Amino acid sequence: MHKTTVSHIGRQQATYAVVTAIFLLFLGGLVKLQVFEHSELAALAENNRIRVVPIEPRRGVVYDRQGRVIVGDRPSYTVSVVPAEERKGKTVAHLAPILGLDTAQILRRIRRNAASPYQPSPIRRDVPFEAIAVLEEQNSEFPGVNYQLDRVREYSVDLRAEAFTGHVGEVSEQEMERNPQADYRMGSTIGKKGVEKQYDDLLRGVEGTAFIEVTALGEVLGEYEGKDRVPPVPGCDLTLSIDNDVQLAAIHALDTQDQRYATMKMQSDSAPIIHRAGAVVAIDPRTGEILAMTSAPGFDPNTFSGMITDSLWQTISTDPAHPLLNRPLAGLYPPGSTFKLVTLGAGLESGVIEENTTFRSCGGGFQFGNRFFKCWEKGGHGVQYSIHAVEMSCDVYFYQLGLKVGVDQMYRYATLCGFGTKTGVDLPNEFSGLMPSVAYYDKRYGKNGWTKALVLNTAIGQGEVLTTPLQLAQFYCGIANWGTVYRPHIVTKITHPNGRIEVPEPQVSFKLPFSHSTLAIMREGLRLVVEGGRGTARRFKNDLYSVCGKTGTAQNPHGNDHSWFVGFAPIENPEIVVCAIVENAGHGSEVAAPVVKKVIETYMKKKLGLLEPQQQPEPIAQNVGQELRP
């Protein structure tokens, strides 16, 4: 009996010990939670009911040289999903038809934000108000879904300025990986092309932060009053050198050629009408300021302001007309006869010829070895001096001059004139073109695998020579400016949010390798192209102002010849250089020259106060002083 009692008491004591230990364990846990970890847990609890929402800053406004808005923004709604709060099988299925997306697209965007499950993942920008009203009225049907008022980029469509404005878009994972130091987040809007990309750091501004109170189910209660929002810092405004009137003239001139071509096609046969492709660049040779730049066909950059669908991107990127190709900067073409001024300058400067040097008479072509190199004028030009060879654009004269100059000298002078090298314009994705050298020919054809016949093509801007319209315009700026070449640029003023203004100074890029006397001969030849009795662009002559230039008809292995013209005015003190190319259009005098004439005419009439009022682009509404609230 005594043993039983002792055993029972032992069990009771053990039980008490266990219970006491458990109690002390719970008590210790409570003390730890309430005392030692109170601050940390309180913060966690606070964060669980407070949603951090980024506030996009106002992206900088882009103006033309006269203060007219080219690129601005407008309010729009962005719909996002918080990955940790979305309910599988409900949220996405209900949201897809409201936003006009399929569930796969939405899920793909949500998964991109998997590393930050409590960070809103943007699903679609620029959502119509009708869709927002549905989300607001049926909030409980869309767990994890929220919307906020943001800004969407707005471009002036009438100016067709995408060649220099570029466009914005949502940052990609690859871009985030390439720029780990940038303050990007998934869903950030950044510049993708043009000025938008080149000056993105200035235009983008700095995001702010808002704190939104939500329930456990993710229902938004309103802005949290326990924390002050961090206001965004707006981006810098940019003023460009672009003149809207000159830009519109370039667009309308190309449109005229489109209409002319369409009429010809309708009259000649039943083939489908294909609009012309081409480019126009206008530059002030005294500073390098770009006055106009357009590429045709183009695209509406507003398309990329929202979240572009896969199908739309596929349609644009596979368009056979290549609307995404920035022809002024990245279009590579043989320059044709516009390059003859390089050949002439090389011959004069190297002492191979003088102003009055003549060659074998042009009878419509030139026999070299077993090949007959034709002149564009089948009847021939006879014997000419150098300036008249420019005036009539005689191929035979320049064939013979090219042989005398040689490949090495041709390459040397061409590269010193900027060919085969990027201009350094303050726009991204510029191509350098190609100027063939002996090393190039050796690599391509093998040493001793090519003949001097190649230099004949080079001398008239054919063969392997490739240039961009901007590069060619830069060269003619040097001729117009008596040898001094300013770096082409488009931004002339940067206005910071605090009012500070930066004005970048024009920079001399290089000087042409030609003496004043050589340049004078070159300029006289260009004057005769327009004002001479046999000039290839004599229809350009007018009584209002003096102008000179050069036609070019460049052979194209993929179709009809390209049409070139480069001109500047007034001759005495040139203020504008205009370069135009119209693809597959034929003779430069017939197609490209009228385009350049229209642009120069607009500039000169505006300067003289004779420009008739023309329809200006619709102004872009700005909300510069308003803070958009989520």
**Alpha-carbon distance 416 to 514, whole Å?**
10
Give residue 78's pLDDT: 84
Residue 350 domain-assigned (yes or no): yes
CATH of the domain at 513: 3.40.710.10
Give the residue with greater pLDDT, 308 vs 615.
308
Would you put residue 158 in left (φ > 0), alpha (ψ -120 to 50) or beta?
alpha
Q: What angle do CA 479, 483, 489 make, to 5 degrees?
A: 80
Of 48-52, 320-324, 452-456, the range with the lowest mean pLDDT is 48-52
Residue 317 domain-assigned (yes or no): no
DSSP assignments along 180-197, one per residue: TTS---TT-EEE-SHHHH
Residue 628 predicted with pLDDT over 70? no
Of 68-72, 164-168, 527-531, 558-562, the range with the lowest mean pLDDT is 558-562
Of 4-18, 29-43, 267-281, 338-352, the range with the lowest mean pLDDT is 29-43
Residue 530 predicted with pLDDT over 60? yes
Same domain assignment for residues 360 and 482? yes
The pairing of strands 289-296 and 562-569 is unpaired
- Give the dihedral sign, CA 87/93/97/101: positive
Same domain assignment for residues 294 and 174? no
Residues 208-219 have pLDDT tens digits of: 887 777 666 556
Closest CA to 344 of 516, 483, 454, 460: 460
Give the residue with greater pLDDT, 298 vs 551.
551
Structural domain tally of the chain?
A: 3
Give the residue with greater pLDDT, 470 vs 210.
470
Residues 189-210 have pLDDT tens digits of: 889 999 999 999 999 988 888 7
Q: What is the mean pLDDT of the chain?
A: 84
Identity of residue 42 = A
Residue 599 domain-assigned (yes or no): yes
Residue 320 domain-assigned (yes or no): no
Give residue 446's pLDDT: 92
Confidence label for 45 from pLDDT (cuts 50, 70 and 90): very low
Same domain assignment for residues 468 and 440? yes
Identity of residue 554 = A
Taking a C-beta distance cutoff of 8 angstroms, is the pair 279, 585 a contact?
no
Confidence label for 623 from pLDDT (cuts 50, 70 and 90): very low
Give the residue with greater pLDDT, 6 vs 350.
350
Q: Residue 149's beta-bridge partner residues?
A: 77
Give the residue with greater pLDDT, 565 vs 302.
565
Of 58-62, 264-268, 310-314, 379-383, the range with the lowest mean pLDDT is 264-268
pLDDT mean over 114-120: 70
- What number of residues does the chain have? 630
CATH of the domain at 192: 3.90.1310.10
334, two tokens: 């043989």
The number of beta carbons lying within 10 Å of the beta carbon of residue 168 is 26
Same domain assignment for residues 31 and 86? no
pLDDT mean over 584-606: 90
Same domain assignment for residues 166 and 252? no
**Alpha-carbon distance 590 to 582, whole Å?**
11
Residue 441 domain-assigned (yes or no): yes
Taking a C-beta distance cutoff of 8 angstroms, is the pair 250, 599 a contact?
yes
Residues 292-343 have pLDDT tens digits of: 999 999 888 888 876 676 777 788 888 888 888 999 999 999 999 999 999 9
59, two tokens: 């992206």
Same domain assignment for residues 488 and 505? yes
Residue 35 predicted with pLDDT over 60? no
Confidence label for 44 from pLDDT (cuts 50, 70 and 90): very low
**Alpha-carbon distance 466 to 468, whole Å?**
7
Residues 6+ positions from 384 with CB-CB distance below 8 Å: 358, 362, 391, 392, 394, 397
pLDDT mean over 595-613: 90
Of 164-178, 238-252, 505-519, 541-555, the range with the lowest mean pLDDT is 164-178
Confidence label for 124 from pLDDT (cuts 50, 70 and 90): confident
Residue 163 predicted with pLDDT over 90? yes
Give residue 150's pLDDT: 78
Instruction: Give the number of C-alpha atoms closer than 13 A to the C-alpha of residue 299, restricted to the C-beta side.
Output: 22
Taking a C-beta distance cutoff of 8 angstroms, is the pair 554, 334 a contact?
yes
Confidence label for 540 from pLDDT (cuts 50, 70 and 90): confident
Q: Residue 280's beta-bridge partner residues?
A: 294, 580
Q: What is the pTM of this model?
A: 0.83
Residue 629 domain-assigned (yes or no): no
The number of beta carbons lying within 10 Å of the beta carbon of residue 305 is 22
Give the residue with greater pLDDT, 178 vs 164.
164
Of 258-262, 322-326, 340-344, 514-518, the range with the lowest mean pLDDT is 258-262
Among all chains, which residue has been given the structure tokens 């005594």? 2
Q: What is the dihedral of CA 203, 491, 167, 53, to 10 degrees?
A: 0
Same domain assignment for residues 265 and 189? no
Residue 615 domain-assigned (yes or no): no
Residue 498 predicted with pLDDT over 90? yes
Give the residue with greater pLDDT, 543 vs 71.
71
Same domain assignment for residues 69 and 177? yes
Same domain assignment for residues 14 and 116? no
The number of beta carbons lying within 10 Å of the beta carbon of residue 389 is 26
Same domain assignment for residues 67 and 202? yes
Most confident listed range (139-143, 257-261, 365-369): 365-369
Most confident listed range (10-19, 371-380, 503-512): 503-512
Radius of gyration, alpha carbons of the chain: 34
Residue 254 predicted with pLDDT over 90? no
**Alpha-carbon distance 86 to 134, whole Å?**
17
Among all chains, which residue has been given the structure tokens 């390439």? 178
Give residue 143's pLDDT: 80
Same domain assignment for residues 150 and 107? yes
List the domain range (segments joined by +) for residue 6: 2-36
Residue finishing a domain among 191, 213, 239: 239
Taking a C-beta distance cutoff of 8 angstroms, is the pair 391, 525 a contact?
yes
Residue 630 predicted with pLDDT over 90? no
Kindly state the DSSP code that residue 206 receives in the 8-state scheme. B
Give residue 266's pLDDT: 41
Same domain assignment for residues 270 and 412? yes
Give residue 505's pLDDT: 95
Which segments of 19-68 are extended strands (E)? 50-55, 62-63
Q: What percentage of the chain carries pLDDT values higher than 70?
A: 83
Residue 125 predicted with pLDDT over 90? no
Residue 313 domain-assigned (yes or no): no
